Structure 1
Amino acid sequence: MTTDSAAPTPAHGTPEAPRVAVRGEARLEVDPELARVTVTVAARGTDRRAALDDLTRRNTQIIALIKGYGDAIEKLETGSFSITPELAKHGRGERVRAYHGRVHLTVELTDFTALGELTTRLADHELTRVDGPWWSLRPDSPAHATARRQAVRDAVQRAREYAEALDARLAALVELADLGAESAAGYGMPPAPGSPRARSAYGAAEQTDAPALDLEPQRQRVHAQVNARFIMTPPKLNG
């Protein structure tokens, strides 16, 4: 009994169906979609309970300030919390000199106009430290898909040029391997030297008229690579 099924395409190539292997690449620069800052709220007192109450009050004020920016806030998370005794260096026995309390918050924003104002207002709070911003793309950003598509088109174009150089043409794709698309300034990573950073303040006096920081978003680099293998028609080697 005979069948009409076609013979499988050779994966490793033959003289009648040579294989061409290429790598396609794409590199894009796009505007960031998120900005992340970290906020450290501190309190200090000679009494443990007083230090804890002060820290709770400051933390509540900071969270209320951040939440007041509404939809500009993508995410607000509380990280670590600590109350640490400071022991006196002199004298007999162990004696607590003071208690230090800290709460760490992480804030992600999508509105970069609000970012400059918020960081300034946060830094103007007493015993409050602000670090950042760190710019990033969303994990599902369309920029990653765009880079992958461009990498595939680049692979096809390279393979076609190799085939045409041999007076042949591409006949079939036998493998496409994704090597990943990633941002060089990855999510949560510190910015490169010289990139904009928000004001960092610790123990600053409170003010109400501090101007908003002018922050320039750091462009994000997106890189995609694919390995592709094609079968091409027999080349014409006799010129």
Structure 2
Amino acid sequence: MTPDTATHQTSPVPYGTPDTPRIAVRGEAHLEVDPEIARITITVTARGKDRRETLADLTRRNTLALDLVKTHGDAVEHLETSALTITPELGRHGRGERVRTHHGLVHITAELNDFTALGELTTALADLDLTRVDGPWWTLRPNSPSHRTARQEAVREAVQRAREYAEALDTTLTALVELADTGTEDTHPRVPQSTRALSRAAYGAAPTEDEPAPLDLEPQRQHVRAQVDARFTMAPPRL
């Protein structure tokens, strides 16, 4: 017997045999849970003929928006400025590069875990001049317990399904051969299909002396799915 022959005979068979039949199943789980965080984006704008005055105005509006967000304390999990731009606009007529006006933009991203505070903050921000609010984007944290729960339920379903097949053959499972995770999925994208945009300046609404009532935002339920592929061996059935 050659070494190659010995290796071939002792290597495990990648499929079932009459003495050790295998069964392959897929386990799936689908959970519908409440979101854990909500994300909004805030766009603060300023416009003026003088570059420094435009920048100063943008700085003031940006500080006002940031301070307003920070008043909600622990409800705000994350706050960052993602972009800042100051763009000169050239005149359409005349010779030379004459600047007609300057446009300033600051993009802010905030994540909140308190959805009551979210409604209050969104309303207050939208009431600011030259400020736009987009969102909310509802989502789960990457380490959310819902992902683990979905994976565990998928495994339990795979075992139950394999047992049912074995029972149909009047036999029992003997061992787990392989368990493959095909992925845990949050089916709601981070970017909503239709973005809710609020801006007093954008809609041309006149300012009011009374503070607007907070928006009643209904959280969007999150769908978490998990799948596993499992292979078992079972006692030889009597067919």
The separation in 2 between residues aligned to 1:120 and 1:177, in whole angstroms, is 47
| Within-5 A mapping of 1:216-227 | 216-227=218-229
Give the TM-score taking structure 2 as reference length.
Answer: 0.90
Q: Does residue 93 of structure 2 align to residue 90 of structure 1?
A: yes
Alignment correspondent of 1:201 = 199
CA distance in 1, matches of 2:206, 2:92: 29
* Aligned equivalent of 1:164, options 151, 160, 167: 167
Can you list the C-alpha shifts for 1:10-54, whole angstroms capped at 9, x where unaligned?
A: 542110110000000000100000000000000001000000000
Alignment partner of 2:163: what SS? Answer: helix
Separation (CA, whole Å) in 1 of partners of 2:13 and 2:155: 21
> What's the counterpart of residue 129 of structure 2?
126
Query: 1:101 & 1:55 partners in 2: Cα distance?
Result: 6
Bigger share in helix: 2
Structure 1 counterpart of 2:182, one-letter code: L
Q: Distance in 2 between matches of 1:9 and 1:168?
A: 23
Unaligned residue ranges in structure 2 (runs of 5+): 1-9
2:75 partner amino acid: A
Summarize the alignment of residues 59-78 of structure 1 with structure 2, pairs less than 5 Å apart.
59-78=62-81
Give the Cα separation in 2 of the matches to 1:132 and 1:226. Answer: 34
Give per-residue Cα distances to partners, 1:106-130, cap 9 Å, x unaligned: 0000000011110010011100000
| CA shift digits 1:140-176 (9 cap, x unpaired) | 0000000000000010011111111111110000000
Contact 1:37 1:133 in 2 (8 A): yes
Q: Give, in whole Å, the separation in 2 of the partners of 1:205 and 1:122.
A: 15
Structure 1 residue matching 2:198: 3-state secondary structure: coil
Equivalences, count: 226
Counterpart of 1:191 in structure 2 is 192
Unaligned residue ranges in structure 1 (runs of 5+): 1-6
How far off its partner does 1:191 sit? 2.0
The CA deviation string for residues 86-121 of structure 1, in whole angstroms up to 9 with x for no partner, is: 111111222111000000000000000011110010
What pairs with 1:1-239 in structure 2 (closer than 5 Å)? Answer: 11-186=14-189, 189-193=190-194, 198-201=196-199, 203=201, 206-207=207-208, 208-237=210-239
Matched residues in 2 for 1:9 and 1:142: separation? 37
CA distance in 1, matches of 2:228, 2:58: 52
Query: What amino acid maps onto 2:137 in structure 1?
Result: W
8 Å CA contact retained: 1:9, 1:174: no
Distance 2:31 2:206 in 1: 43
Question: Distance in 1 between the 2:82 and 2:167 partners?
Answer: 58
| Equivalent position amino acid for 1:168 in 2 | T
Counterpart code for 1:63: L
Q: SS state of the match for residue 152, structure 1?
A: helix
> Per-residue CA shift, 1:155-212, capped at 9, x if unaligned?
00111111111111100000000011121014xx22245xxx6551152655451111
TM-score of the superposition, structure 1-length normalised? 0.90
> Structure 2 vs 1, CA of residues 11 and 169 (structure 1 numbering), >3 Å: closer, same or farther?
farther
